[in-house]
Chain A
Amino acid sequence: MNNSLTSRAKKLFINVLMLVISCMWLIPIWMMMIYATHPDNVIFSGELVFNPGTDFLKNFAILQGKQDFSMAIFNSVIIAGVSTLLGLLVASMAGYALARFAFRGRNTLFALIIFILAVPSAAIVIPEYIIVVKHMGLSNNYAGVILPYLANAVGVFFMRQSFLNLPAETLEAAYLDGASEWKIFYSIALPIVRPALASLGIILFVAHWNDYLWPMLVMTSEQYQTAPIALGRLIGLANIEWGAMMVGASLMTVPFLLLFLILQKQIIAGITSGATK
């Protein structure tokens, strides 16, 4: 009797506590969407609003007037999309070679990749900038942002792990069937690790979509800026248009929240296997 009472109290306690935390965690996202739909004078008045207003399109028009945000979103889609697809290809090819071939220099190369994992990307941004912008002349060029993204050590590490788990006999069977090395790779090995590709793909896409410093350095003109850069430039204006900025933040966030709802499993798998192996 006593036991069931304490266990019910414990259950209530856990649920209430978690509810409080979850609400606090959702407030920023919720308020972002609310403020995106109200005129700025509501924000300045200090009045507490919790319900959506009707000014979303007006705020969007203001946003578009200050910075070409549609173009910025477009740039972000191109950059994140292309770097993810190419990055997956490059990382899987390299991961496949490291996992399935014995060759001279394999261990050295793998050690180098592990070492690179430990070098923060912020640390090479200066020389990278000099090479890409000064020497290659790739400023305001999609390739300038995308190319450095393609040498992704985490991706190689992750794909190598997935290919290590492939049964050797399946690949040997394809070899006996007369398939070339490339054919074995793209029509047998790659399809089998599709779940891993999906996880890595999402992680890469989100990371490239969100990146701030590197695109800011390369894409200096408004025409080529990505969405995070556009938001950053709005903050720098003398007169901050809050509602418009919340529209921008919503536009670049909400699709990912929906994506997260659908692909939660893959995202979590990507984070945990990338982290625990």
Chain B
Amino acid sequence: MANIQMQQLKKNFGDIPVIKGIDLDIKDREFICFLGPSGCGKSTLLRLMAGLEEISSGEFLIDNKRMNDVPASLRGISMVFQSYALYPHLTVRQNLAFGLKIQKLPSDEINNRIREVARTLQLSELLDRKPKILSGGQRQRVAIGRAIVRRPKVFLLDEPLSNLDATLRVSMRVELARLHEELQATIVYVTHDQVEAMTLATRVVVMKDGAIQQFASPLELLHRPANIFVAEFIGTPKINLFKVEVQECGPQSITVTHALFSNPITVSIAKEIKFAAGTKLTLGIRPHRLSTKQSLDCTISAKVTIVERLGTESLLYTDLGLETLVICSAAGTVPIIRGDQITLGFSSANCLLFDDHDQAIERCLPADVQLLIS
């Protein structure tokens, strides 16, 4: 039961700023994911929350109490590490009991808690084994158990699933979602796997270079990315981007052109914004919104260079002489092969526009998209 606030939180290692002023407001019982490329500071931010690193400046509050100088063990948090970090010389039971004994809890209380956690995580059979002989999934459950048994207000998890194989990862993901329901605790979860973030999180913090790019629900990230970085980072396959030129700028729409487009395209916008004709903008269109069958508001003709058949969908890569290949997602059995000349159609409702500073221009959502914001 805890809400978390950060105000202008900063961290330097020596002279190097790694966390550059984070403002964040996390509500009670949220499941928050920190998502971002390697080295962007996700782990560092989590370790600042845990009390493993010293905060350089800014405020960090849990339940409105300033935590900057509170020792880690008194913050009401517990943490699950990527490497599990189990105590190798202690049995599973002793691993679970270690922190409780330091808190000097009575031994029946300790035993009760261990029994309860063991039941929740199916560890009862393993209690007297040492970590060395456990499988990766079992170790992971013990590590989670060790976090749960302390009954923290906030759980911090640093890439807890990245050491597991693909199948186990999926089942642990489901288990984590169940645990979140059951524990009713606030969870902060670091990952660089966007599927984990999109499936587990109530809201996602997308980070780059120690700063927040966007803090929003998964669907919002997908449909209303705040900038080009988020648009490219979220969603697979990657969004297609075109450097377009403003032809005309109306109060509710912007008309842009591109040499490869069959005709200028008019995109409606939610808020009026003025661009001079000739301004360079970026237009994004997701591969699923490109169609090979219909010629919609606009078309591009292209030659297929690679076809990737993934089963339920086929990815068509076309070389238009741009920096990257343009990708179109088509049906799994689409009868197109390498070398075919095709026409890609798209509708203006599905276009995303970004200004000359890579920031999103607020758009009207297409009719088929609901963000399910509560």
Contacts and interface: CB of A to CB of B under 8 A. Distances in A.
**Do A and B touch, yes or no (CB under 8 Å, in the complex)?**
yes
Interface of A: 167, 169-170, 172-179, 183, 188, 191-192, 194
Interface residues of B, number: 23
A229 B52 CA distance: 54
B371 to A, nearest CB: 36
Contacts of B99: 176-179
A142 B52 CA distance: 44
Contacts of A192: 87-89
B83 interface: yes
Nearest to B75: A176
Given A169-B81, A169-B82, A183-B102, A176 B73 contact: yes
B50 interface: yes
Contact of B85 (A167, A178, A194): A167
A172 B73 CA distance: 11
B156 to A, nearest CB: 9
A172 B52 contact: yes
Contact of B98 (A167, A169, A174, A194): A174
Given A172-B81, A175-B52, A177-B73, A191 B89 contact: yes
A241 B50 CA distance: 71
Contact of B81 (A173, A183, A191): A173
B50 A176 contact: yes
Interface string B133-163: 0000000000000100010000000000000
Interface of B: 50-52, 72-74, 77-79, 81-83, 85-89, 98-99, 102-103, 146, 150
Contact of A179 (B78, B83, B102): B102
A194 B86 CA distance: 17
A244 to B, nearest CB: 47
A173 B50 CA distance: 10
Q: Which secondary structure characterizes the binding site on chain A?
A: helix
A177 B102 contact: yes
Q: Which 4 pairs across A and B sit closest by C-beta, in order of nearness?
A: A178-B73, A177-B99, A169-B85, A173-B85
Contacts of B74: 178
Contacts of B83: 167, 169-170
Given A175-B52, A176-B51, A170 B72 contact: no
Given A179-B102, A183-B102, A174 B87 contact: yes
Contact of A176 (B72, B82, B88): B72
Contacts of B77: 176
Residue of A170, A175, A176 most packed against chain B (CB within 10 A): A176
30 contacts: A167-B83, A169-B81, A169-B82, A170-B83, A170-B86, A170-B88, A172-B52, A172-B79, A172-B81, A172-B85, A173-B86, A174-B87, A174-B98, A175-B52, A175-B72, A175-B73, A176-B72, A176-B77, A177-B73, A177-B99, A177-B102, A177-B150, A178-B73, A178-B74, A178-B103, A179-B98, A179-B99, A179-B102, A192-B87, A194-B89
Nearest to A170: B85
B89 A176 contact: no
Nearest to B81: A169
A185 B49 CA distance: 24
Contacts of A167: 83, 85
A51 to B, nearest CB: 49
Nearest to A190: B89
Contacts of A175: 52, 72-73
A249 B103 CA distance: 54
A86 to B, nearest CB: 23
Contacts of A179: 98-99, 102
Given A172-B79, A188-B87, 7 more contacts: A169-B82, A169-B83, A173-B79, A173-B86, A174-B87, A176-B77, A178-B72
Nearest to B103: A178
Contacts of B82: 169
